[in-house]
Amino acid sequence: MSEGLKASDILYAVIVPCIVALIIIAFPHYLAPALDPTLRAIVVYGLGEAILIIAVPMLFGLLWNQWAGGASGFLLGSIYALYVNDTFAASQLFTPDGMVGDISNLGYVVCAMLTGYIAGALNKGSLSFKRMLIAGLTGGIIGGIFLLFTQVISPFGMVTDIGYSLFITILPRIIYGIVIPAIAKVFSWYGLILRKS
């Protein structure tokens, strides 16, 4: 059933998404120079990583099931691993074999898979915010620990200060472990869940 085009359709279908897109683009460009290196690593450069390997798999795990969380984690973790590989290649920070044998690439995939799978498996389709919160935090922190482990044993020496690396790896996962369950709960209020109730 189609209705006529209303002003609110234009507002919410075109104008608001364009404003959000401009904010997403302007955010790292203007904010990065104003932050110290630690906050820059977390807030600006880590945003793409956080969305791809934490937020989306966790959201799918919480709203759908562990298989959707794990599968989306595998796909998005693989995409992010390719991005990291290209970043290292562009910076010429690789061995003569490229990044062959670098375990940290696999860490991005495993981290994202674990985050989504654990969040979904612990949540078990519940719409209880407390259960989603515990599932999201647990999945995010465990995924982050596995990622940090692969970066520690990486032949590229990605981690020079374990305390600092633990901080910038785990903090975003704790933040998203709180924010994503809240978003999932709002989705459930409006019936925007990916499974039958």
* pLDDT above 80 (res 152): yes
Q: pLDDT band for 179, please (50, 70, 90 cuts).
A: very high
Q: What is the pLDDT of residue 163?
A: 93
* pLDDT above 80 (res 174): yes
Contact status, residue 79 vs residue 52, Cβ threshold 8 Å = yes
* pLDDT above 60 (res 197): no
CA proximity to 46, closest of 9, 83, 90, 99: 83
Residue predicted with more confidence, 88 or 142 = 142
* pLDDT above 80 (res 73): yes
Amino acid in the structure at residue 196: K
* pLDDT above 70 (res 92): no
Cα distances from 53 to residues 33, 111, 113, 120, 161, in angstroms, run 25, 7, 8, 15, 23
The sign of the CA dihedral 58, 121, 77, 133 is positive
Q: pLDDT band for 196, please (50, 70, 90 cuts).
A: low
Which three-class secondary structure state does DSSP give residue 192? Answer: coil
Domains present along the chain, CATH in parentheses: 38-189 (1.10.1760)
Which DSSP category does 160 fall into?
Answer: S
Q: What is the pLDDT of residue 101?
A: 63
- Which has the minimum average pLDDT: 3-17, 29-43, 69-83? 29-43
Of 101-110, 125-134, 165-174, highest mean pLDDT: 125-134
